[in-house]
Chains A and B, each alone.
Chain A
Amino acid sequence: MSVLVFAEISDGKFKKATFEAVSYGRQVADMLGTQVVAIAIGTGADASELSTYGAHVVKTIATGDSFTADAYAAAVNASANEVSAHTIIISNTYTGKSLAPRVAQLMNAALATNVVSLPDTSNGFQVKRSVFSGKAFAFVNLQRSHKVIAITPNSFEIKTFGGSANVENSAIALGASSLNIDSVNKVTGKIPLTEAEVVVSGGRGMKGPENWHMIEELANILGAATACSKPVSDMDWRPHSEHVGQTGITIKPNLYIAIGISGAIQHLAGVSSSKVIVAINKDPEAPFFKAADYGIVGDAFDVLPQLISAAKN
């Protein structure tokens, strides 16, 4: 028996989410009294790095830098069989979300996505996952001998462990995919919203796209990603990829700063799991203040320049 972690490689590096998954996997393995094996598909990353986060063994398949769900799922399933892993840990990134269901199906495993807790094995195998777009959590019992757990990024502290992992080339080959990848377009030099630890977000209170340079400037200084409310992307003030909320992206940064956003229930659904929330709004009755840790009742056009100059120091 062992716990298998899918160690996602992106642009020749392990992601932070991968370290979270490995460290989570190690804790599960310790709980079950077994070892944790990481499977890394792709090139560039230094497999031994995963020792630090608790991997006992790292298997590498040094091909296939472009992710395809079908081929990767087959390789993960074969790796799980090889090391008799019953529990598979995957980070719920876009890649992980494509992969986890296919792995679960191949393994005939119970699947839980958006998982935010370690398993409770005192009575069966239970995990906590977020549901209703972050408006609630559910405790779900996984009722199969095999389990696939997809953990929410930025939900677990990365623990470090001593020891050094055995790094081995896997005998498993990555098969062909029935999907052609025609082109990949990655935004470079910008922090992806889903991975950002700080997010600065603007709503209709920002009045128009011409004022966004202030949001961007503050975000730049703080090393933050930028986001927006739905009407802002609907009006094309900002790209759709920045729209957060129930029908946009769900995010969980350490800090979410909402400027000129009312705090409608659908908006809050996508951001309320953020660790610290700041609301800046000229209306003291804005619902966002009920969901915020810190607030400034004031005009964004007065407050933002002050924040920018304070952040510069």
Chain B
Amino acid sequence: MKILACISVVPDTTTKITFTDNNTQFNTAGVQYILNPYDELAVTRGLEIAEANAGTLTIVHVGKADAEPVIRKALSMGANEAIRIDAEAMDAQQVAEEIAKIAEGYDLILTGRESIDYNGGAVCGLLGSLLGIPSINVVTRIDYADGKFSFDRDIDGGRESVSCAGPCVASAQKELCEPRIPNMRGIMAARTKPLQVLPAQTQGGYSQYSAFELPVAKSGVKLIDPSEAGKLIEILRNEAKVI
């Protein structure tokens, strides 16, 4: 079995988000980049399925060379090889089109539910449509048996179980598995695993970011005396009018 896991590289979750150049650029100064937390789950579950089915897991990332430490991290978790498509990723559509060009021959393609920076949540569905295969969003379970993949996925107000033959693409949601932490042997092995760099094949994005804005800061908290906590309910009813 051949599995492909798509990874994005995102600012660490503790990053204080700020912008420069008159709010047109994300301020990368001092930002630590990490493997997108949902992609960590995709890689982990992909590895488990590959290992159980004498398969391989390939990592793919669309981005520039500065992403390579994070790609090596995915390799140190146990992936067999990695591909970096050398392009400045402008949007999910460009990323999906680039990945679609190399996705032939994989039985299962995994992404994260969303990247925690631009939160598009779009790559899974775009890839499914580009490749003409089922796309299964926000999965909390993936199993493979008797030539079929089966999934649990979150839906509005509940959960459903679905199945299909491969190839298919699914996006990882929390609860899929516990992320695998690379061990020393994995870290050593990752240094020499193949990381192929391929040129971009598509024209670039469908959209362009022109400016950013921070949410309006709260004007300050109004404190209510704990001995008269019931007053809060009155305020929420009559002043804030939210209940």
Contact = CB atoms under 8 A, between A and B. Distances in A.
A101 interface: yes
B180 interface: no
B233 A307 contact: yes
Interface string B217-237: 010011111101111111110
A244 to B, nearest CB: 11
A177 B17 CA distance: 41
Most buried by A among B13, B92, B161, B229: B229
Nearest to A137: B213
B230 A310 contact: yes
Given A73-B129, A307-B232, A113 B120 contact: yes
B232 A94 contact: no
Interface in B92-142: 92-93, 96, 116-126, 128-130, 133-138, 140
Interface string A200-229: 000000000000000000000010000000
A37 interface: no
B13 A265 contact: yes
A255 B243 contact: yes
Q: Which secondary structure characterizes the binding site on chain A?
A: mixed
A140 interface: yes
A257 B120 CA distance: 27
Interface in B1-36: 11, 13-17, 19
Interface of B: 11, 13-17, 19, 37-38, 91-93, 96, 116-126, 128-130, 133-138, 140, 150, 154-164, 168, 174-175, 205-215, 218, 221-226, 228-236, 240, 242-243
Interface of A: 10, 15, 67, 69-70, 73, 93-95, 97-102, 104-106, 109-114, 126, 128, 130-144, 177-187, 192, 194-195, 197-198, 222, 240-241, 243, 246-248, 250, 254-255, 265-266, 269, 272-273, 275-279, 289-299, 302-303, 306-307, 309-311
